[in-house]
Amino acid sequence: MVSIIAARHVVRLSRRMRLFSTTVARDAEVKRLGVVGAGQMGLGIALVAAQKANVPVTLVDSSQKSLDKGLAFAEKLLAKDVSKQRITQEQADTVRDLLKPATSLDSLGEIDFVIEAVPEIPELKFDIFSKLAQICPKHAILATNTSSISITRIAAATTQDPRDTSNSSRVVSTHFMNPVPIQKGVEIISGLQTSKETLDAAVAFCERMGKIASVSADSPGFLANRILMPYINEAIICLDTGVGSRDSIDAIMKNGTNVPMGPLQLADFIGLDTCLAIMKVLHTETGDSKYRPSVLLRNMVDAGWLGKKSGKGFYDY
Residue ranges at the known binding site for NAD(+):
37-42, 61, 120, 125, 147, 178, 309
Strands (E), the chain: 33-36, 57-60, 99-102, 113-116, 141-144, 171-176, 185-190, 212-216
- Of 145, 190, 225, 294, the catalytic one is 225
Angstrom distance (rounded) from CA 105 to CA 218: 26
- Of 66, 175, 190, 197, the catalytic one is 175
Q: Establish whether 285 is a catalytic residue.
A: no
Angle (CA) 70 276 211, round 5°:
50
Between the alpha carbon of residue 87 and those of residues 76, 142, 160, 292, the distances in Å are: 13, 31, 47, 46
Angstrom distance (rounded) from CA 251 to CA 184: 24
Q: Establish whether 175 is a catalytic residue.
A: yes
User: Which residues are annotated as part of the binding site?
Assistant: 37-42, 61, 120, 125, 147, 178, 309
Q: Establish whether 225 is a catalytic residue.
A: yes
- Of 145, 147, 148, 169, the catalytic one is 147
Question: How far does CA 49 lie from the centroid of its chain?
Answer: 14
Question: Does the N-terminal peptide bond of residue 56 adopt cis geometry, omega within 30 degrees of 0?
Answer: no
What is the torsion angle, in degrees rounded to the nearest 10, for the CA atoms of residue 174, residue 175, residue 178 and residue 180? Answer: -10
- Of 116, 168, 187, 197, the catalytic one is 187
Q: Catalytic residues, which ones?
A: 147, 175, 187, 225
